[in-house]
Structure formats: structure tokens, C-alpha cells
Structure 1
Amino acid sequence: MAANKPGLADLKALRRQQAEADAPKPRTRKVSPKKRGTQPGPSEPAAVAATSGAVQHFAQADVGLSTEDRTLFRRAVKMVQPIKDAKRASLPPVPRATADLLRQRREVAMGKDSPALSAISDHYAPAKLDDGSFIQAGHGPDLIKDLKRGKWPIEASLDLHGSTLDEARERLEQFLQSCLAHGIKCVRIVHGKGYGSKDGAPVLKETVRRWLSQMQAVKAYTECAEHDGGSGAVQALLRLK
């Protein structure tokens, strides 16, 4: 008996089977719990049981959340450790100066501690020591020696080159008041040697020194060393509160 020949239906079935065999199968990727960082999603009771003391610390933070969001939140804070109470009090920063010192500085800045330069004579000739130095009454000559040897470093400097007398007066007054207000004790004032003046006389040099010698805030001054300006500058020691 002759074998049955495959028909059209058999051919269609064979093609369908071949197509199913050739179709790409979906690949499933297994991620281990260690790589994922968290365990597979537990149910709500399991999540609550797994919470640590840190999670309980945030117990009030999940009020009003859905069950799913609450579960995710508790998983996120599971490893969080609450800050331990160090029993430390947070105090405001301590001011650098006392209220009394600040008041004294304000008074100095307002000119209450020394006369304004506008009230000082340009022609006053004080009794002075040798080498272009001056010292207020009540202080010994050792003060000048200490000033010359650099016991007090120069903390601020003012250059009056090119200034007229009126400009120099205003700039010097503002400079000294600012130094007193900020607690600066030793300053340098560059007045020049007078080579650029019309008559060749050191007008600004002599006048600035006269001003300084009349101010109670200036305890002493002396000519600077050559590397700091020589005879064209003085370093002054200010009287601080």
C-alpha cells in the first residue's frame, strides 16, 4: 500500500512549527539579592518586622503614605542610624570684642579720643628727640628704642605722595581713625622727602609730623628704616584702649 503523501495542511503545520522554533525566546536575567542591594520585595508585615531602631525613628514620617510607598520608605531608611544624643548645647559664637571695647572703638572712630586734624595747627613745633623721633609726655625714651628695633610690627601703611595739604589732612585723619577702630597699634605713614615740591622744601614731611605730635592717640613716632622709606616715612605707635 502506497504511503500517504503529505498534503497542504501538513506543509502549513510544518512551517508553523519551524517558525516557532526559530523565534527568539525571551531571556530572563537573574539578579542576586547581593547585587541588587535589597531582598526581594517583602510583604507589608515582613517589612515592618525587618525594621530596625533607625526605621522606628522615622515612624512618623510615613504617615499618610500608601502601603507601597510606606514599604519603599522603610526599605530606604533601613540602614540609617540615628544620631546619638551627645548632650551638647549649641551656643552662639563668642564675639571677638566685649561690648565695652566695641563702645570704646566707636568713640575713637567718632573722634572723641583725640582732636580732629582740622583743629590741629600746621605750624606747631613740638619738642622732639633726635633722628626725627617724637614721644608724648609721660613715656620714656625706651619706647622709641623699641619702636626702632621693630618690637611692634607695622600693620597698616598710608602713602601720601602727590597729596595736597588738605587732601593729606583728610586722608590721614580717616586712616588713623580706622586703625584705632580696628585695634591696629603700629602704622607707617609715607610723606615723601619733599624732592617734588615747588620750592624744594619738604612741606608735607614737616607738616605731617606736626600733626602727629599734636594727637593724643599717637604715643610716639620715628623715622623708618631705609627699607621702609627712610626719612620719607615715619612709623607711629598708636594709643589703644
Structure 2
Amino acid sequence: MTRWRKGTLSDEDRSLWDEVKKTAIPLRPDTKPRLSKDASPTLSKAIERTPTAPPLKQQIREFTLGAKAKKPLPRNNLMPSISNQIMQAPLQMDRKKYGKMRRGKLAPEARIDLHGMTLAQAQPALTNFIASSHARGLRLVLVITGKGKDRDQGGPIPTRVGVLKHQTPDWLRSGPLRLMVMQVTEAHLSHGGSGAYYVYLRRSG
């Protein structure tokens, strides 16, 4: 066992002191810590070599009137609305006919009103309607969903406004319906506007 001698630090003590210095935050950065008279010379030299933080005034960058502030952080990319999602979908049908449909110049050959139904009721009703319309050789049908009402009761999970309006395009793009549906877009005001969808079907057979 090595006997400790006054005025010296062992390698283990010196290593421990170096680790302490890394985590220590001085209360007064511009002053050196005071040592007792009994402190060892080695410890005194180690403290003198410890770097001190610059004064607070030097840490804060000056800002003058008219100077440019830092560039703001980019905003969060929120999910686009259901209307924008449908508008950005690739065009699958004839462009001229699509333009007439968007302007309400094409009359729907059949329609279904899902307004007021629950999701469990609306999905099979929509599936049967599209399948039967496709089997009959119809091309343009109208699906009425309504714009939806705000029924949020203030719970921890917010309720989306217009659940049927948001869910219907997903149903039309998935499962067996995606093989029958060519194009989906919001209806013209004369046929319900944003509360309804034009669904252009592929040719049967």
C-alpha cells in the first residue's frame, strides 16, 4: 500500500480531479476558486491551469436595430387537404372529358347518398353501388358524402370533421373497387360541390 505524502497527488487522484473539472460549472466564471492554505502545490497548479468561461456579456452577441435576424426554422409539412390530394392524383381519363366533368357539363348516370350513414354502413353500400354501376356499363356516377359536421366532444383524441368525405376516396382506391374506378374528383357546385365526388368508371367487360 502506497503511503500518501503531503503536497503530492497520486495518478488516480489526478485522473479523478481531471474528470471533476470537466463537469464543474463555476459560480463566478471570471474568478479563480480560492484554495485553503493547506492545499497541495500540485492541486494549486492544476486549478490555475483550469480555463474559465468568458463573461456573460461576451457570450451574448450584440444586436443592432436593422440587423437581420437568424433565418427561421422551416415550417412543418402538414398533410395536404383531401381536396388537394385528389387534385394531385395522376390523370387517368381523357383530358377534355375530365375538364367537362369538373365544370359540371357531364350528367351523372347514377348517384348514391352516403350522408348520415356510419362507416360500417357506408362502405358496403358504396361497394355494392360501384360494382352494380360498373356491371351495368355506366361511366359517370355521383357519390354524395356531405361536408361533415364538427362533432368533437373535447376528448383527448380530436374527431376529424367529415369522416365520410375523407374515407370515401380511400375506399375507391383500394380493394376490388380500384379495378373499376378510373378517376375520382370533387363534384361541381351544381352536383354538390365539395360534399360529393364524381367517380368515373372503367369500361366493363
Using structure 2 for the length normalisation, give the TM-score.
Answer: 0.48
Using structure 1 for the length normalisation, give the TM-score.
Answer: 0.42
